[in-house]
Structure 1
Amino acid sequence: MVEDSTFTRVRTHGIFETKSIVSSLVHRYGGCMRLKSLPSVAAVLLVAGSLAGVALSSRVQADTWENETFVRSFATILQVVQDNYYEETKPDQLVEGAINGMLRTLDPHSHYLNLKAFRSMREEQRGSFTGLGIVIQKLGRDRPLTVISPIDGTPAARLGIRAGDIIARINGTTTDGMTSSEAVDLLRGPKGTSVNITVTRPGFTEQLEFEVTRDTIPTDSVVSPYMIEPDTGYIKIRNFTQTTSKELHAALEKLDRQGMKRLILDLRGNPGGLLDQAVSVSGTFLERGKKLVYTRGRIKGSNKDYYANEDASYPDLPLVVLVNRGSASASEIVAGAIQDHDRGLIVGETTWGKGLVQSVYPLSHSNALALTTAKYYTPSGRLIQRDYDDLEDYVAYRTDENYEPSFDQSTRRFTDGGRTVYGGGGIAPDTEVKLEEPSTFITRMYRTSAFFRFAVAYLSRHPEVPEDFQMTDQVLEEFRQLLLDEEIPFEESELQVDRRNISMFVRSEVLSARYGLVWSNRVRNEYDAQVQKALTLFPQARELAMLADHPAGGAAAALPR
């Protein structure tokens, strides 16, 4: 999770004040470096210099001397490596590696942002980028660059670029041998400029040429708002950007007009984002004055308490929140606030367990440092950060299906209604629902893009599929024939054993290719055990809200775990 922009600006000012110190260090130790390496070392010296700057203003000269000694040692090592390593080295890679190595000694979430990473982070937080408005996929250098879907209302969609189109050339340069990242770099550019793409379209004998003018493309963080049942709204938040709260309120108002009486808020797979947006989203459902989260750190300005400071837009709307192992940071703040105040029912799997706050320090216009400056606590006082002494285990948590969190009694806290909750290992759901792992057959089909390839081929023969498209025996036979034609290995028995999942993925890909990506989520929710369980739990969600209002009622024991 990244701290809000106001705090970032304050800290940024402090960093830029250390430039004179950095300059003196570079001047003092520059004699042991090659001239060409000086710009590359500036980033490392800036970090070291900021530490030295603090020392000069508040510590004894002995500490300053020690910091300068470390910087001198680093500069000497860098020079020795450049002079004596058996192959030519690139100073920028050496320095970036040194920075990353230093930050890894702190925690898993402090990290250096190079030009590409910093630009990507700013685009994500801004909620937009400049480009064509297409989702692309390239599974390898030898695979075609394929349009997964155009984004509604963007330049690509207005020109008629379709899902399944293969981009053969970009500005005359073949995409053969190109990676997805390299293709994205060519497709993106300043607003108002144009790019020429050559497209091969299934069913067309000749290639198509498109001259596309780049524009601002919104990357919505709130996706798939729709009525999943006549009285039940469904909203998925995939990350927390500068526009998340605004998008959420627009989605809620839309569903309100359609008769929403209760809501499923899906935070699964949401890795987090901006703290102020997590606070705003939480405050949408909690009454004014309720504590939402608080942070504690070492530096000035890091100790803050956050409260709902506006009247909640939906304080009484029955609420179920979906989480899983991919729910982290800002999404855990929302889930923790909802759970601690007994405002809604948390359903799914235990979340990631990230209780650290990063502040972003721009080092220049092209790079930055994301540094952990505080821990955050849920309203009941829980620190939900998972242990990261073993970094490999920490990172592998998302995919380790046998992992079972254990909760230390010392981390025990209580909700408003008196229910017991724990810190130290993420947010444990009130009702646990695990999803089954995909079979080897389904994994193979996904790895080879079989479902998407079938959708493109099917739509070329049946362009007007209805929104209620279903998986029939005839459709299954057409899918089987594609596997044979494309020489994708399978066993006949697998088509029957996995028919339900085949139906989900085929319907999802066909309808999203025809009507837009929003349909992918709608179809999959029909088969999703966590979503379907959530639909049955609104009576318990109402009971939970009553418990918060009357904590002596003893209703906690009746709630599902």
Structure 2
Amino acid sequence: MLKKVVSILFVFFWFIPNYSWAQDKEIAFDYTKNLEIYGNLIKTLKMSYIDSLDFSKLNKTAIDALLAELDPYTVFIPQSEKENFEYIRTGEYGGVGVSVAKNKHDNVYISNLMPGQPAEKAGLLIGDKILKIDGRDTKDMTNDDLAAIFKGIPEQPFRLTVERFGESGTKEYLLTRQKIKVQNIAFSALLDHSIGYISLRLFAANSANDFLNAFLDLKAQNIKGLIIDLRGNGGGLIIEAVHCLNAFMPRGIEVVKTKSRVERNDYTYRTQRPPIDIAIPLVFLVDELSASAAEIMAGAAQDFDRGILIGQNTYGKGLVQNVVPLNYDTQLKLTIGRYILPSGRKIQKLPDSPSTPFKTLGGRVVYEGNGLTPDILMPAKIHDPVIKDQLERLFVLQFVNEYMSENKNIKLDDSFEVGESILKAYNLFLVEKNYIFISPLEEKLMALRQQIEKENGTKELVNLLKQAEKMQNTSVRNTDLQALNELKLLLRAEFLSRKFYREGAEKRNLNRDAEVLKAVDVLSHLPSYQALLKPLNR
């Protein structure tokens, strides 16, 4: 084990000499010296420490701490986590077709299932509470622990102990991981006014082929515009994003280039194929989770005035990673450069830097420094802080568990609506949970008041702070129409997911999705669409 630990560190440190600056003797001596110190430290611990040690775990902790000094995306990938990274490259992973969510009390629930996969076949349901995995209490497990179990080496079994609301006792399920193909396209649909819609989940292997097939199916239905939904798309393979955009742009166009400190790592991605339709109006839906390859596709389209962006500012992940194989089947995901869009702007978010202006092909002003800024900014789907807090606590999921247990004949179809009776039941559920929302500002006001009281501050100042707390308390509890609509949409999606799963529920909520409706409105009025692609007169 000691030999393995030192060997991994040896490969990690000696990867550095490939860079020209590492040829400097002083730097070479410095990292060689530190490598020897690390090896001697591990050796001393092995020989003399009072307890036995898990050197693989210690080594992972040491490497993670080292890489944390660099950037968030340079990471060490041990053999046990390799499957999590392989699925983007191959389009497959070992799993059971289940998504889980953990609330603030560390309870783990099944939040989605994939049709036809082991978890669904075994009889698990959305809303089931997972108490134990292979006898281990899930409250003691981190999100990384859960990910390693539900995405891992195929053909390996594990056992779930599950509690289902409304049923006594617990249930045991023995599941075996199988190879699961990633669904790059969540779904596609023909919307009102002959507008096509494609939900592009991520850019894994074969994403472009899946996307083009979905587009051709819609094109055969004579669509007049296309919505490409990149919300929640965390990226993946850049070349797949380039091929997707290629459907709407001529061959040979520069989509993005990488700029590195080492010139040989620089690369320019261009469209390589004949386009399918260079005229169809496009809208890209983006949000704060749209990242990397998703930002490249949407950003390049914006730079060439090839489409309109609607939603929220994107994540801002514009760093290039290269996966370097190390020994013992481990890997290093290493940041080697930055992505630069055709206008010259970078994607990477720079919180402390001013937004720098650039111009699109047609002269519109776009900015770098805060991800991509949509042409039409809209509030996030979940904008109300109270509802966002309830969602994080998984109250919506738990409420639907209880409601469906008590109303077994509820009809779930396209006509299902969240009416007054369901809203009243939800409010009663919150009361039974003794739910009180305290906003971050309210917490600060309370802490400040308590500090002033402790220091014998004036009564007038204490009373003033109490009034401010009360005003803040009242303002966040006044449920306005926007918040009510958010809640109804969430509840409807949760109910429908129990029959149609998440993707089916999302599809049935498209005609209530504010950003989708805005995109349909823009695409169905061509003069408005074209006006958005022109520079503002100043």
Q: TM-score of the superposition, structure 1-length normalised?
A: 0.76
Partner-residue secondary structure (3-state), 2:265: coil
Number of aligned residues: 497
Question: Residue in 2 aligned with 1:406?
Answer: 354
Runs of 5+ unmatched residues, structure 2: 438-473
Give the match's secondary structure for 2:205: coil
| Residue in structure 2 matching 1:48, options 3, 10, 13 | 13
1:421 to 348, 353, 366: 366
The offset of 1:474, in angstroms, is: 2.1
Kindly indicate whether the alpha-carbon contact (under 8 Å) linking 1:125 and 1:240 is maintained by their aligned counterparts in 2. Answer: no
Identify the residue that residue 417 of structure 2 maps to in structure 1.
470
Out of 16, 28, 32, the position equivalent to 1:68 is 32
Query: AA paired with 1:314?
Result: D
Please name the residue that 1:295 is paired with.
Answer: 258
Q: Structure 1 175/243 Cα, relative in aligned 2: closer, same or farther at 3 Å?
A: farther
Verify: 1:348 aligned to 2:311, yes or no: yes
Distance 2:133 2:185 in 1: 31
d(CA) in 1 for partners of 2:362, 2:305: 7
Kept in 1: contact 2:93–2:179 (CA 8 A) = yes
* Corresponding position of 1:262: 225
* Partner SS for 2:15: helix
Q: Does 1:518 align with 2:463?
A: no
Matching residue within 320, 332, 338 for 1:375: 338
The alignment's C-alpha RMSD in Å is 3.8
Closer, same or farther: CA 230–519 of 1 in aligned 2, 3 Å: farther
Q: How much has 1:228 moved relative to structure 2?
A: 3.7
- Secondary structure of the residue aligned to 1:435 is coil
Question: Which residue, out of 53, 63, 69, partners 1:99?
Answer: 63
Conserved? CA contact 1:319–1:541, under 8 Å: no
Distance in 2 between the 1:474 and 1:314 partners? 48
> CA 1:162–1:68 in 2, change beyond 3 Å: closer, same or farther?
closer
1:437-466 alpha-carbon deviations (Å, 9 max, x no partner): 643431342233221122223334235322
CA distance in 2, matches of 1:323, 1:439: 19
Change (3 A) 1:126 1:106: same
Aligned to 1:534: 519
Give unpaired runs (5+ residues) of structure 1.
1-35, 388-392, 395-404, 549-554
Tell me the secondary structure at the aligned position of residue 537 of structure 1: helix
Offset at 1:286? Answer: 1.3
Specify the alignment match of 1:509 in structure 2.
494
Q: 1:359 to 1:436 in 2, by over 3 A?
A: closer
1:197-240 superposed Cα distances (whole Å, 9 cap, x missing partner): 55544444575555555422233232242234351222233332
Q: Which amino acid aligns with 1:330?
A: A
For residue 153 of structure 1, the aligned residue among 116, 122, 144 is 116
Query: Following the alignment from structure 1 to structure 2, what is the Cα–Cα distance between the partners of residues 547 and 449?
Result: 39
1:397 aligns with none
Aligned position for 1:114: 78
Show the counterpart of 1:479: 426
Task: Name the aligned partner's letter for residue 472 of structure 1.
Answer: G
1:117-516 equivalence runs, <5 A: 117-139=81-103, 143=107, 145-167=108-130, 173=135, 175=137, 177-179=139-141, 182=145, 185=148, 191-192=154-155, 197=160, 199-205=162-168, 210=173, 212-299=175-262, 301-387=264-350, 406-408=354-356, 412-435=357-380, 438-460=383-405, 461=407, 462-485=409-432, 487-488=434-435, 498-516=483-501
In structure 1, C-alpha distance between the alignment counterparts of 2:313 and 2:526, rounded to whole Å: 18
8 Å Cα contact 1:435-1:529 kept in structure 2:
no
Cα distance in 2 for residues equivalent to 1:436 and 1:167:
28
8 A contact 1:384–1:423 mirrored in 2: yes
Task: Give the structure-2-normalised TM-score.
Answer: 0.79
In structure 1, give the amino acid aligned to 2:365.
T
**1:365–1:495 distance in 2 versus 1, CA, 3 Å:** same
Structure 1 residues 504 and 543: CA distance shift in structure 2, 3 A: closer
CA distances 1:318-349 after superposition (whole Å, capped 9, x unpaired): 10112233322212211221012111112223
Between the aligned partners of 2:67 and 2:163, the Cα distance in structure 1 is 46
Look up the SS of the partner of 1:315 in the other structure: coil
Change (3 A) 1:184 1:420: closer
